[in-house]
Amino acid sequence: MIVPKKVIRTAVGRNRVKRLLREWFRLGQTDIAGLDIIARLKARDNESMLKSDFLAGLVSCKTRVLKRTSTLT
């Protein structure tokens, strides 16, 4: 997880975002088993927008992996 200082200035804020990302990842982990994911925050958003963007990204990763693995077999 990458949360740049330019986006969120305080360490407390950056750590909160990281905790939230870890929790959302943990809750959606069964859907994306076996993937390594890098999350990078590019802009400051409210928590609900951050969560929806992150979960949409997880779904996108899952569909791409499924598509690639189905074409290999």
What tens digit of pLDDT does each residue of 9-24 get?
899 988 988 898 888 8
**Model confidence at 73, in pLDDT bands (50, 70, 90)?**
low
Enter the pTM of the model. Answer: 0.69
Of 66 and 33, which is predicted with more confidence? 66
Query: Which residue, among 70, 31, 34, 10, has the nearest Cα to 57 in the 3D structure?
Result: 31
Report the distance separating Cα 39 and Cα 70, nearest Å. Answer: 25
Q: Which two tokens stand for residue 2?
A: 């990458």
Q: Does 33 score more than 80 pLDDT?
A: no
Query: What is the sign, positive or negative, of the torsion defined by CA atoms of 50, 56, 58, 61?
Result: negative
